[in-house]
């Protein structure tokens, strides 16, 4: 509603400005016309005075000539009404009358122009009063409009100030969060810097190849190896459990077929599953003459022999793997015994071997030179880069 009223007020003010400018132009044109008419009036007044002077001069000359013509001497000389002088006098009289008529017309014109001037003055006064009234009304409306505009501007500025306050509060919160994050990052950087410095020291000590470090018991390596062996044992136990489940499954199938009387030696059986007891009974039952001489029996015996051969091969392969594993374990046990003997000895190596590898590598380490060593390392890298760039 406020926007609509302000829009209507602006439209009304534009119309008012247009009307005011049109009235002002009309007033200026009237003033110019009044100036022109005033100049014409002055011109006509000067002409009137000239004609009046001429008329008076002619009147005086006419009177003098008339008196001279009416004199007896002039009549005696023969200058009567029919003479040329009389004609000239008549013409002069007629001209004087025409000039008098023209002067009267000019006087009438001057009177009319004076009336028009009075009317124009009255209109000018009215227009000036209307102009002053419109000007005062315009100033009043401008003051009211300025008050309305100022109220709108004030409300807009207050809204902007509130938005800026909210934004400032959010920025302060973000700034505090960034400061906290910066502190965390600085602490993390210092921790990584100290860790890198410590690792560099350990690496430099290890690269020196001191003989005192040869007898160090690598507890971390033993723990990792122990974890690896435990995982391997767990996998073997899982495989053993799967093998047991498979054996139980095959045994149940075999018992089911035996109860139904399906498994018979010498018949075409697709499953061909025989337990250890069945093989033992078959081998202890007698000689080959007791078996039925059929092609199915021979194929069953061949499959039995192949199964036994595969089983023997699997057992021998597992035995060879077990031997290799035992050899590796024996070598590790021997090495561990040697390390234990070195730890339990009375030499200087035994005194240092009781420590962990990190404690031995950090012997003589101090964290006070972290920044100094880092600055020296940065300078060295800069010099190296400059030398590479120059070359």
For residue 2, give both structure tokens.
């406020």
pLDDT tens digits, 319-350: 887 888 888 888 878 877 776 776 565 444 44
Q: Which DSSP string corresponds to 273-304?
A: ---HHHHHHHHHS--GGGS---HHHHHHHHHH
Q: Are 349 and 212 in contact (CB under 8 A)?
A: yes
Task: Give the largest Cα separation in the chain, rounded.
Answer: 218
Burial class (CB within 10 angstroms; exposed 0-12, middle 13-18, buried 19+) of 249: exposed
In whole angstroms, give the CA distance from residue 159 to residue 156.
5
Of 24-33, 136-145, 314-323, 335-344, the least confident: 335-344
In whole angstroms, give the CA distance from residue 303 to residue 312.
14
Q: What is the dihedral of CA 52, 55, 61, 66, to 10 degrees?
A: -130
Query: For the domain bounded by 2-73+81-168, which CATH number is listed?
Result: 1.10.287
In whole angstroms, give the CA distance from residue 252 to residue 369.
75
In whole angstroms, give the CA distance from residue 300 to residue 281.
15
In whole angstroms, give the CA distance from residue 112 to residue 103.
14
Backbone CA torsion sign across 186, 187, 190, 191: negative
Give mean pLDDT, residues 259-282: 52
More confidently predicted of 281 and 26: 26
> What pLDDT was estimated at residue 162?
92
Q: Are 63 and 15 in contact (CB under 8 A)?
A: no
Give mean pLDDT, residues 236-249: 80
For the packed helices 84-208 and 2-69, what is the interaxial angle rounded to 10 degrees?
Answer: 160
pLDDT tens digits, 212-235: 554 455 566 667 777 778 888 888
| Residue 119: HSE in the Cβ half-sphere, 13 Å Cα cutoff | 8
């Amino acid at each position: 509603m406020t926007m609509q009223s302000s829009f209507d007020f602006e439209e009304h003010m534009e119309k008012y400005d247009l009307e005011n400018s049109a009235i002002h132009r009309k007033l200026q044109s009237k003033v110019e016309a009044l100036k022109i008419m005033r100049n014409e009036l002055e011109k006509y007044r000067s002409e009137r005075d000239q004609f009046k002077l001429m008329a008076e001069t002619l009147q005086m000359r006419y009177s003098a000539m008339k008196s001279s013509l009416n004199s007896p001497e002039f009549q005696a000389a023969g200058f009567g009404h029919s003479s040329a002088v009389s004609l000239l006098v008549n013409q002069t009289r007629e001209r004087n009358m025409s000039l008098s008529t023209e002067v009267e017309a000019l006087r009438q014109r001057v009177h009319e122009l004076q009336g028009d001037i009075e009317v124009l003055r009255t209109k000018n006064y009215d227009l000036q009063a209307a102009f002053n009234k419109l000007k005062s009304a315009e100033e009043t409306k401008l003051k009211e409009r300025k008050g309305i505009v100022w109220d709108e501007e004030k409300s807009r500025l207050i809204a902007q100030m509130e938005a800026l306050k909210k934004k400032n509060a959010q920025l302060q919160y973000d700034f505090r969060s960034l400061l906290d994050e910066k502190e965390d990052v600085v602490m993390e950087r210092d921790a990584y810097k100290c860790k890198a410095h410590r690792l560099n020291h350990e690496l430099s000590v290890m690269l020196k190849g001191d003989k005192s470090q040869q007898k160090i018991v690598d507890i971390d390596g033993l723990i990792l190896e122990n974890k690896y062996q435990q995982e391997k044992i767990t996998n073997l136990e899982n495989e053993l459990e799967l093998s047991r489940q498979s054996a139980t499954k095959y045994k149940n199938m075999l018992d089911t077929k035996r109860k139904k009387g399906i498994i018979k030696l010498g018949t075409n059986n697709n499953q061909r599953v025989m337990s250890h007891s069945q093989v033992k009974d078959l081998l202890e039952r007698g000689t080959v003459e007791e078996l039925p001489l059929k092609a199915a029996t021979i194929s069953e015996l061949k499959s039995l022999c192949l199964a036994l051969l595969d089983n023997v091969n699997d057992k021998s392969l597992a035995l060879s793997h077990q031997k290799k594993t035992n050899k590796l374990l024996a070598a590790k046990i021997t090495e561990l015994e040697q390390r234990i003997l070195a730890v339990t000895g009375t030499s200087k190596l035994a005194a240092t071997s009781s420590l962990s590898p990190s404690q031995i590598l950090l012997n003589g380490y101090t964290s006070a030179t972290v920044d100094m060593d880092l600055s020296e390392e940065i300078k060295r890298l800069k010099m190296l880069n400059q030398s590479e760039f120059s070359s």
